[in-house]
A and B are shown apart, each in its own frame.
Chain A
Amino acid sequence: MALTGIQIFKLLPKTNCKKCGFPTCLAFAMKLAQGGVELSACPDVSEEAKKTLGEASAPPIRTFDLGTGEKAVKIGGETVLFRHEKKFVNPCALALNVKDSLSDGELAEKASEVASSEIDRVGQKLRVDAVCVEYASGDAARYEAAVRLVAEKAPEAAVILNCKDAAAAGAAVKAVEGRKPLLYGADDGNAEAMAAVAKAHGVPLVACAEGPGALSALTEKIRGLGVEDIVLDSGAKTAKEIIEHNTQIRRSALKKNFKPLGYPVINSVLRDDPLFEASVASVAIAKYASIVILGSIEKWKNLALFTLRQNLYTDPQVPMQVEQKIYEIGEPGADAPLMITTNFSLTYFIVSGEIENSRVPARLAVMDCEGLSVLTAWAAGKFTAAKIAQFIKESGVENRISHKELILPGQVAILSGALEDKLEGWKITVGPREANAIPTFLKNRA
């Protein structure tokens, strides 16, 4: 359990020496309790206090990098069970599974698919983050060669080594040591040998057991062997096992502060039917996986899974914004109506959806109001006549249309007079107050 500021204060030197940068030990203790500062900022803290505080202040789910370099992804570090409570922190990594028994040509092709999987969606670059090489050949030399090849063809992806043979795994780790591969993994039979490999090369290790109970015993054993960066595989195969195990693991870590399960989770969702696999993968993405292993990464599937991951890992407290620009809906001609709204994503989705429903091609000017809805943006002084006029002038939309009429949301009808003053020569029309009246409104004009 996390300690309170007062409990922490009791363990500090109480000298008020200010070396930590805070005026008093109590102030430092309070900040420490909120997680706003590291204990190491206190130079005089006792060994005993360090031990007690270190254990209590460790985050409930450990965080570390999967892979290396710019495209390494942070996994773990989650703090809630439901995204409306607080943001889900580190979006789960997606990995493509490949077997070392494939031909070199097939391996290279699959690795290249991973390397070229990046897509831009609403301003974020999204990609398949990792490639998981499965030891299916039973031939250690073949495994090492396959791992080398895949790592070379997917030079920025994280590498996961799915191999329970410690000797073969050891050789493969060595071959791609600079990429800090995730070793997958240790079970009851090979824990000592696998932990030794992980420790020797400083790489994270997956603990594999049947169910969260057995898994917690195994992670304690592995941690005792000196490996700290651990990933959990509870043996979940079906969608039900995934949701149940992952829920139990996250609840144990967050609500019981049960350290043996305070690690990120890996789920494999391989299915023969790629569509079905996508649906099961979405169960893992929504329900607490930190790494999801896929059997195929078709472009349509990537787009859908990336989008789900992006949606669910959005900060619920920060309004989602869309890019400020003139959006064309349908195929608007020069005489098509021009409407304006703010860049709160939900406002944009609803307004553009209703314009689509009207089947009247139109332009929608979406203005940056820091993600506020129309009425809120108006109240906050971000959606004013002067700012709208400036945006319309600078957007250059005038050159693309044959009229000078702007349709204003009905909620801000009050702006129409001022806007006609600021936008010389323009006619300002007041549109509907609610988006669901847009189709009727647009059709009646046509």
Chain B
Amino acid sequence: MSYVIPKESYTGKVLSFDFGKDDRAVTVGGENTLPFLSFEGQQPSRPVIACEIQDCPPDDWPDTVKEAYKDVSGDPVAWARHCQDVLNAKAIALRLLSTHPDRDDRSAEDAAGTVRDVLAAVDVPLVILGSNHIEKDSTVLVAAAEAASGYNCIIGKAQEGNYKTIVAAALAHNHKLIAMSELDINLAKQLNILITQMGFSKEKLITDPMCSALGYGLEYTYSVMERIRLAALAQNDPTMQPPILGDVGMYVWKIKETVAPEADVPEWGTLRERGIAWEAITATAMLLAGTNLLIMRHPAAIETVEKTIDELV
């Protein structure tokens, strides 16, 4: 018996778009193969990691990751500059968390001001995230989209309960859009269809099928992403062809494994390394399942995953 390389050729292809401006713009997606299988197809753009910052001090982040930004996290502009200039982040994800009614309930106008300030301070592409409050996001993200007009950002997340106003804002101000649903391939597909029915191009969408942390449902996200990617490639399903987003940091940096001190659980080893490994491994698994854009927090985890991507592409 002689060996023949078992190649698959797919009829479908993942869509691609760029975000950001001029020579700092980055491209996501575009592959016509399962992740990193160069022997049978092309993956023209490298997965991108956006470094997460927020518009209020990260009081609720565990010490390991809070410590990494302690000198800059009081001010989103300083924080964004730090990510770009010191950490060499290729993209930044600004979460407008302070607008959440349970946080500071800051106004959409305030949020728009923060967006303007951050955009003026850095050149790298920006992902603009709401506070994940369905009603509030539909006003905050509209104001943020307007403030960022002309900057070609990714805004989100548009969900079933609020997508209409957010889609309209992304359309009016020419941004890319995150469509988020909760761990179900059919819901992801349905939301993408609803959004494109409003006249929003599928070529400007990125699908967030909801992330989950290692040990806390990771296998569900992993399989939903794999199924989305197979639907895009093997079944050539146009509604499943937008690139995929993995919002890793916010799911990882709250679970017990990233918070519990070694004194409480000696068998789990040192807390700092444990937390960083948790974020890096969650992110690596997401890449293998098909994620094109990751949102992450800890600089050491980001560096580790970048090194892994260096080996994978």
Inter-chain CA distance A8–B63, complex, in Å, is 64
Q: Are A298 and B312 in contact (CB under 8 A)?
A: no
Beta-carbon contacts under 8 Å, A324-356 to B: 345-346, 349-350, 353, 356
Q: Is A395 an interface residue (CB 8 A)?
A: no
- Which chain B residues lie closer than 8 Å to A273 at the CB level? 304, 307
Among B215, B270, B313, residue most surrounded by chain A Cβ atoms (within 10 Å): B215
Restricting to B255-313, which residues have a CB under 8 Å from any CB of A? 255, 257, 267-270, 273-274, 276-278, 280-281, 284-285, 288, 300, 304-305, 307-308, 311-313
Q: Pick the contact of B1 from A84, A258, A312, A320 — CB < 8 Å?
A: A258
Residues of A within 8 A of B220 (CB): 346
Q: Are A304 and B312 in contact (CB under 8 A)?
A: no
Contacts of B194 on A, CB cut-off 8 Å?
Answer: none
Is the CB of A314 closer than 8 A to any CB of chain B?
yes
B6 in complex: contacting residue of A83, A256, A287, CB < 8 Å: A256
Q: Does B146 contact A (CB under 8 A)?
A: no
The stretch of B44-52, B82-90, B221-229 in contact with A is B221-229
B311 to A312, Cβ gap below 8 A? no
**Chain B residues with CB under 8 A of A276:** 304, 307-308
Residues A274-305 near B (CB distance < 8 A): 274-276, 278-280, 282-283, 286-287, 298-305
Q: How far is the CB of A145 from chain B (nearest CB, A)?
A: 31
Q: Is A402 an interface residue (CB 8 A)?
A: no
Tell me which residues across on chain B come within 8 A of A320, comparing CB atoms: 219
- Whether A299 and B277, one on each chain, are in contact in the complex, defined by CB atoms closer than 8 angstroms, is no
A299 to chain B: closest residue by CB: B269
Contact in complex: A298, B269 (CB < 8 Å): yes
Interface centre among A276, A310, A359 (most CB of B within 10 A): A276
CA distance A288 to B64 in the complex (A): 32
For A247, the chain B residues whose CB sits under 8 A away are: 34, 37
* Contact between A304 and B226, CB atoms less than 8 A apart: no
Q: How many residues of B contact A (CB 8 A)?
A: 56
Asked if A216 and B3 make an inter-chain contact with CB atoms under 8 angstroms apart, the answer reads yes
Shortest Cβ distance from residue A178 to the other chain B in the assembled complex, whole angstroms: 30
Q: Does B217 contact A (CB under 8 A)?
A: yes
Residues of chain A with a CB closer than 8 A to B257's CB: 303-304, 307
A220 on the interface (CB 8 Å rule)? Answer: yes
Chain A proximity of B279: nearest CB distance (Å)? 10
Q: Which residues of A contact B218 (CB under 8 A)?
A: 308, 311
Determine if B3 and A260 form an interchain contact, defined as CB atoms under 8 angstroms apart: yes
Chain B residues contacting A440 (CB-CB under 8 Å) are: 101-102
Residues from chain B with Cβ under 8 Å of A298 in the complex: 269-270, 273
Residue A239 lies at the interface, judged by CB distance under 8 Å to chain B: yes
CB–CB A314/B36 < 8 A: no
Would you mind naming 12 contact pairs between A and B with Cβ atoms under 8 Å apart? A244-B36, A244-B38, A248-B39, A282-B284, A286-B222, A299-B270, A301-B273, A304-B257, A304-B277, A305-B281, A308-B214, A346-B183
Q: Known pairs A305-B281, A307-B214, A320-B219. 9 more at Cβ < 8 A?
A: A83-B219, A121-B215, A240-B313, A279-B308, A287-B288, A301-B269, A303-B257, A353-B216, A353-B255
3 A-B pairs with least C-beta separation: A299-B269, A300-B269, A300-B274
